[in-house]
Structures are given as C-alpha cells and as structure tokens.
C-alpha cells in the first residue's frame, strides 16, 4: 500500500486562511447586497406611496381616510377620486375564490401523483405540473382573454346574464385558479413525498385503509409544506398583474359581488395605464402597492394561524 502521508503537504495553513477569509467576505457581501435591495425597495415604495397623503404633496394632497375607505376609483374625474377599499375586497374575493377551487384540487392531485398513480405515470404527471408552473403569466393571460372569456360569456348566457366580452370576476378567478394550481401542487408533491414511510406503515398496521392513511396521516404529516404551497399560491394570486389586467375589466366602483360583472384588483389598478400617466395618478399606484404588501403579509399570518389549528395539536 502506497503511503499517502507523504502527499499531505505541511505549511499550507497561511494560504487556507486567506482563501477562507476571501470567501467569507464574498458571502457577507452577497448577503448585505440582497438585504440592501429589499430595504431600498421598501423605502422607495414606502416613500412614494405615503407621500400623496402628506402636506409636502401640495394642492393634490389626498385624504388617507378617503383612500382607505373609498369605493370609487375615478382618475378621470376632476378632482380625481382614489378609493381603494372596494379594490381590496375585489382582490380578496378573486384570490380566495381561486384558492377555494385550486387548493383542494392541487392537494388531491399531489396525493394522486405521489401515492396512487402507477409508478411510470408519476414522473410524467410531475413533469407536466412543473411545466405548468413555468408557463409565463402573459401566456395564461392570452389564453384567458381568448378562451376563458368565451366560456364565461356562454355560461353567463345560460343564467340570462351578459358580460363585458367575458371580462369578469369569474374569469379572473378561473385564470388565477389555473395559475396557482401548479404552485400549490408542486409544493404538495414535495412535502407528501417527504412523509416518513414508517408513518404510513404504522397507520396501515393499525387497520387503517389506504384512503384513511392518506387523509389522516400523510396529509397531516405533510401539512407544513402544503400550507407553504397555499401561501405561495395565494401570494401569486394576489400579486399576479399581467394576466389579470387582461381580463379584469377594471370596474370604476365596487366591490364586485356578481361573478359575471367586471372587477378591479390591486394589481390591475397599478398596472393599467402605468406608462401613460404621471403625477398623482402615478404616485398613488405606490400607495396601492403598500396596501397589496400589507394584504399578502396579513394573509400569510392568517394561514399560519389556520395551520396551527388544523390537526388538533396544541403546540406545533
């Protein structure tokens, strides 16, 4: 056996220390840079968004109360009316309708893919879902404005209703449901796959059926990842701008309760006409952005709370 001790060279300590400190500096720089970017964005959006409600804004200063409680968005009027409350409600309705449809379908799909589908089909289905997650939102938007609108318009006809070319709350919700489906499904697949097989065996050995095992043990063990998927999905539903703007119809007042009526979401408000406007009408979009971030944050907190409640465990 040849001697390896001879090849372990002494005296390289200095060089190793230098390399270590160079890399340490690189990692620190990367960390600081990304933290700085986030802070800069927050400060910029925060400042631009708050400014319209401060005296420094001059003659066009807005009342924070009428902004938060307003049910009309009329930049075309004089003076312009910027009330965001109905838009918040519209956003919540469309996102939650989407999640209501998409969440159970996604979780069941994930369960099917991981636990029920025959082995060769698993890889195929997983690939399809992952591809869906990678489709750019503008493609979904084109599909929605070209196809979903037609279907919604036809369905509306059955109920004796008319739509504005299919642009409606229902169209937005269907579009969002389709868009968040792969997000929630991929996360659910990952967390269901990670469930310890011993838990399943334990359940089966106690006389539980496959179905009981899947619903009572596998899903509750995969709870964290599934809810993380829901958080990401709702985040996407709240934050999706491009596709939603193509089919929302941008109602001037609201909230929109009728599924076949046009709606307006926070993102479609921020995006529509962004390029053609200046001054207050431009700055107020940052205020809408702040509201959007607050809603995403509150929703995440709410989901964390729900997650802890489900499963009947006192401390998680």
Partner 1 sequence: MANEEAKSVTDTDRTVDQLSSGGVMFRVQDLDLYYGNFQALKKINIEIPARKVTAFIGPSGCGKSTLLRCFNRMNDLIDDVRIEGKILLGDRDIKDANMDVVRLRTEVGMVFQSPNPFPMSIYDNVTYGLRCQGIKDKALLDEVVESSLKKAALWNEVKDDLGKNAVKLSGGQQQRLCIARAIALQPTVILMDEPTSALDPVATGKIEDLMETLKEDYTIIIVTHSMNQAARISDKTAFFYLGDLIEYGDTDRVFSKPADPRTEAYITGRFG
Q: In the complex with partner 1, which residue's Cβ is closer, 63 or 211? A: 211
Q: In the complex with partner 1, which residue's Cβ is closer, 203 or 245? A: 203
Q: Applying CB under 8 A, does 198 fall inside the site for partner 1?
A: yes
Three-state SS for 64? helix
Residue 214 CB, nearest distance to partner 1 (Å)? 12
Three-state SS for 203? helix
Q: Which stretch binds partner 1 (CB under 8 A): 55-63, 81-89, 201-209, 251-259?
A: 201-209
Candidates 50, 68, 199, 252; binder of partner 1 (CB under 8 A) is: 199
# of chain residues touching partner 1 (CB under 8 A): 24
Identify whether the C-beta of residue 169 lies closer than 8 Å to the C-beta of residue 262: yes
Q: Which stretch binds partner 1 (CB under 8 A): 9-17, 196-204, 228-236, 253-261?
A: 196-204
* Interface positions, 202-231, toward partner 1 (CB under 8 A): 202-209, 212, 216-217, 220-221, 223
Look-up: residue for tokens 């179905």? 211
Residue 103 CB, nearest distance to partner 1 (Å)? 20
Q: Per-residue x/- mask for partner 1, residues 59 to 88, rule CB under 8 A?
A: ------------------------------
Q: In the complex with partner 1, which residue's Cβ is closer, 58 or 312? A: 312
- Cα(first)–Cα(last) distance of the chain, in Å? 55
Q: Applying CB under 8 A, does 313 fall inside the site for partner 1?
A: yes
Q: In the complex with partner 1, which residue's Cβ is closer, 203 or 269? A: 203
Three-state SS for 278? coil
292 φ, ψ (degrees, to nearest 5): -60, -45
Sign of CA dihedral 93, 99, 105, 108: negative
Q: In the complex with partner 1, which residue's Cβ is closer, 31 or 311? A: 311
Q: Applying CB under 8 A, does 121 fall inside the site for partner 1?
A: no
Q: Applying CB under 8 A, does 301 fall inside the site for partner 1?
A: no
β-bridge mates for residue 263, sequence order: 249
Query: What own/partner pairs with CB < 8 Å and gap ≥ 24 does 111-119 have?
Result: 111/188, 111/192, 111/214, 111/218, 111/219, 113/185, 113/189, 114/189, 114/192, 114/193, 115/192, 115/210, 115/214, 115/218
> Which tokens hold the place of 270?
């921020």
Q: In the complex with partner 1, which residue's Cβ is closer, 150 or 210? A: 210
Q: Applying CB under 8 A, does 116 fall inside the site for partner 1?
A: no
Alpha helices in the chain (DSSP H): 13-50, 64-69, 85-111, 119-134, 137-143, 149-158, 169-193, 197-205, 210-212, 219-221, 223-239, 242-248, 266-271, 279-309
* Interface positions, 151-170, toward partner 1 (CB under 8 A): none
The span from the CA of 185 to the CA of 105, in Å, is: 8
Q: In the complex with partner 1, which residue's Cβ is closer, 137 or 213? A: 213
Q: In the complex with partner 1, which residue's Cβ is closer, 4 or 205? A: 205
Residue 197 CB, nearest distance to partner 1 (Å)? 9
Could you give the count of Cα atoms lying within 13 Å of 261 in the half-sphere of its Cβ?
Answer: 12
List residues binding partner 1 (CB under 8 A). 196, 198-199, 201-209, 212, 216-217, 220-221, 223, 311-316
């Amino acid at each position: 056996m040849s001697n390896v001790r001879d090849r372990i060279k002494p005296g390289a300590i200095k060089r190793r220390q230098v390399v270590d400190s160079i890399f340490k500096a690189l990692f620190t720089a990367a960390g600081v840079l990304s933290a700085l970017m986030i802070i800069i964005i927050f400060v910029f959006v925060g400042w631009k968004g708050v400014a319209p409600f401060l005296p420094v804004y001059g003659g066009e200063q807005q009342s924070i109360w009428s902004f938060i409680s307003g049910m009309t968005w009329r930049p075309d009027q004089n003076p312009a009316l910027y009330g965001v409350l109905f838009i918040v409600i519209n956003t919540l309705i469309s996102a939650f309708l989407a999640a209501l449809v998409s969440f159970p379908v996604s979780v069941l799909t994930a369960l099917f893919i991981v636990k029920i589908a025959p082995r060769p089909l698993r890889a195929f289905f997983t690939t399809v879902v992952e591809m869906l997650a990678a489709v750019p939102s503008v493609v979904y938007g084109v599909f929605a404005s070209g196809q979903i609108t037609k279907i919604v318009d036809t369905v509306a006809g059955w109920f004796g209703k008319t739509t504005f070319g299919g642009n409606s709350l229902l169209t937005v919700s269907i579009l969002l449901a389709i868009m968040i489906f792969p997000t929630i499904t991929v996360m659910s697949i990952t967390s269901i796959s990670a469930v310890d097989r011993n838990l399943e065996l334990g359940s089966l050995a106690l006389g539980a059926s496959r179905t009981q095992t899947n619903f009572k043990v596998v899903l509750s063990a995969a709870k964290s990842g599934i809810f993380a998927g829901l958080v990401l999905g709702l985040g996407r539903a709240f934050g999706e701008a491009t596709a939603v703007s193509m089919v929302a119809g941008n109602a001037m007042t609201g909230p929109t309760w009728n599924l076949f009526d046009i709606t307006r979401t926070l993102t479609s408000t921020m995006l529509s006409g962004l390029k053609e406007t200046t001054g207050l009408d431009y700055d107020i979009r940052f205020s809408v952005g702040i509201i959007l971030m607050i809603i995403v944050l509150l929703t995440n907190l709410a989901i964390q709370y729900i997650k802890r409640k489900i499963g009947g465990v006192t401390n998680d």
